[in-house]
Amino acid sequence: MHWRWEKCPLAWRGQFTRGDYGVPTMILEAVASQDLRIWHAFFGVAGSNNDLNVLNQSPLFFDALKGEAPQVQFSVNGNEYTTGYYLADGIYPEWAAFMKTIPLPQIEKHKLFAQKQEGARKDVE
């Protein structure tokens, strides 16, 4: 999410301005559950960055890559899990922590999964 920075110093405007916004912004990276509870927030990355640049600077995902992700416990179809996952769209890397949709699902089971994943992701976006 981009937040407009109205008082951005003139010397920094180029670093904080991206062409599609045209004004200086800062990026807020947030992780929220579907009930809209905020679990993580990382604010202040220059607005000229894209999602992948923000991801590469994120303390949450840096810790996850080191194997120090927050511990959670949940069960799906009788399988127990101890690390969380994050709903993501197609531009994100192929990390185990990212649960992406199924592009062009063909069978009903895959269509249902894609519909539920995309709906939940858009709820918190």
Per-residue pLDDT of the chain (125 residues; tens, 9 = 90+): 899 999 999 999 999 999 899 999 999 988 888 788 888 899 889 999 998 999 999 988 888 888 888 888 888 889 998 888 888 888 899 988 889 999 999 999 999 999 999 998 887 77
Exposed (0-12), middle (13-18) or buried (19+): which is 47, by Cβ within 10 Å?
A: buried
Strands 2-4 and 25-32: what pairing? Answer: antiparallel
